[in-house]
């Protein structure tokens, strides 16, 4: 009798209350991947397996890495469940080569901006992670040769390579060979009007940032010909009034930053005609206020 009770108890313990589909639906309603890993995976073996096999996790790392922490992370059974990773600024100061990143084989989106990773690590990521569709490597001061190698990442649709001190030739190489991009941030690299001309040939782009890129009136005219753009950041350039007029003709734009361009009163009048905008940033526009009181 006692043996039969124990057998029945074991049977009940093994019985799954929900189907895998229901478990996955429950997990999918939680937008905190760390919570899923640290809590949901401990509910039961079934939840553990569902997370491992089905979940696509977005992980944001905020604490500095140590060798011990990296070893623990590398042993995780959820490495292949991570598809999106963002690292906060300067997490790798004490790590010579954070190449463990390349072990996340299912990763499609990587943000490693402002981490001073150096060209060795950058080259490793670029050469081994061809599956990425979104890559933010801004503010890392990578060299021109490393930047050029990004053109080998043919799956990319979103690239942020801003504030890297990229030269004209390298910028031209990236622009000419990455026509598949839909989102591109090359701000903080002095590409000038010629660079803007090359960018205007990127017909798939819907989002573009050329903030602080040495663009003048001619460059603004080239950019204004990109009728497919819906988001444009052309702030901190020298487009002036004439440039503002060209930009105002982009009737498909819904978001615009034209701050720091000294567009003046006339330029603001042109921009004010863009009734379709839902977001507008305009500052340091060369307007002088005179107080007569």
User: How many residues appear in the chain?
Assistant: 293
In a domain, 291, yes or no: no
In a domain, 90, yes or no: yes
CB of 103 within 8 A of CB of 79?
yes
29-82: pLDDT as tens digits? 888 888 888 888 889 899 899 998 988 999 898 877 777 777 777 788 888 899
190-236: pLDDT as tens digits? 899 999 999 999 999 999 999 999 999 999 999 999 999 999 999 99
Q: 45 and 174 share a domain?
A: no
Q: 171 and 36 share a domain?
A: no
Q: b/e for 262-293, b at 16 or more Cβ within 10 A?
A: bbeeebbebbeebeeeeeeebeebeeeeeeee
Domain count, the chain: 2
Q: Is the pLDDT of residue 271 over 70?
A: yes
Q: 88 and 129 share a domain?
A: yes
CA distance 63 to 86: 12
Angle in degrees, 0-180, between the axes of helices 168-177 and 192-199, rounded to the nearest 10: 10
Match 């992370």 to its residue by tokens.
Answer: 73
In a domain, 288, yes or no: no
Q: Which residue has the higher pLDDT, 112 or 141?
A: 112
CA distance 232 to 160: 14
Q: 132 and 266 share a domain?
A: yes
Q: 6 and 92 share a domain?
A: no
CA distance 91 to 98: 10
CA distance 277 to 256: 7
Q: Is 1 exposed, middle or buried (0-12, 13-18, 19+ CB in 10 A)?
A: exposed
Per-residue pLDDT, 249: 97
Q: Is 3 exposed, middle or buried (0-12, 13-18, 19+ CB in 10 A)?
A: exposed
Q: Is the pLDDT of residue 291 over 60?
A: no
> Cα dihedral sign for 210, 214, 217, 221?
negative
Per-residue pLDDT, 143: 83
Q: Which domain holds residue 47?
A: 1-55
14-25: pLDDT as tens digits? 456 789 888 889
CATH number for the domain harbouring residue 196: 3.80.10.10
CB of 183 within 8 A of CB of 159?
yes
Name the average pLDDT for the chain. 87
Structure tokens at 191: 């590409």
Nearest CA to 244 out of 220, 260, 223 is that of 220
Q: 225 and 197 share a domain?
A: yes
Q: Is the pLDDT of residue 96 over 90?
A: no
């Amino acid at each position: 009798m006692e043996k039969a009770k124990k057998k029945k108890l074991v049977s009940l313990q093994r019985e799954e209350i929900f189907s895998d589909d229901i478990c996955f639906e429950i997990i999918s309603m939680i937008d905190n991947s760390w919570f899923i890993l640290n809590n949901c995976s401990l509910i039961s073996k079934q939840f553990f397996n569902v997370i491992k096999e089905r979940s696509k996790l977005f992980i944001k790392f905020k604490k500095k890495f140590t060798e011990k922490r990296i070893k623990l992370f590398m042993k995780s059974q959820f490495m292949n469940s991570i598809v999106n990773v963002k690292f906060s600024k300067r997490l790798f100061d004490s790590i010579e080569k954070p190449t463990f990143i390349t072990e996340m084989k299912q990763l499609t989106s990587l943000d490693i901006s402002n981490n001073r990773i150096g060209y060795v690590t950058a080259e490793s990521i670029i050469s081994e992670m061809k599956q990425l569709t979104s890559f933010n490597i801004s503010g890392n001061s990578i060299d021109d040769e490393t930047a050029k190698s990004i053109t080998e990442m043919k799956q990319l649709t979103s690239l942020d390579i801003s504030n890297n001190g990229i030269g004209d030739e390298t910028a031209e190489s990236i622009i000419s060979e990455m026509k598949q991009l839909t989102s591109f941030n090359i701000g903080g690299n002095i590409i000038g009007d010629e660079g803007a001309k090359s960018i205007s040939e990127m017909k798939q782009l819907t989002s573009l940032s050329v903030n602080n890129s040495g663009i003048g009136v001619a460059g603004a005219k080239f950019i204004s010909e990109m009728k497919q753009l819906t988001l444009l950041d052309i702030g901190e350039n020298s487009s002036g009034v004439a440039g503002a007029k060209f930009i105002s003709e982009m009737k498909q734009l819904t978001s615009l930053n034209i701050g720091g361009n000294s567009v003046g009163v006339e330029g603001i009048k042109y921009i004010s005609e863009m009734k379709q905008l839902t977001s507008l940033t305009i500052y340091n526009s060369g307007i002088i206020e005179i107080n007569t009181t």
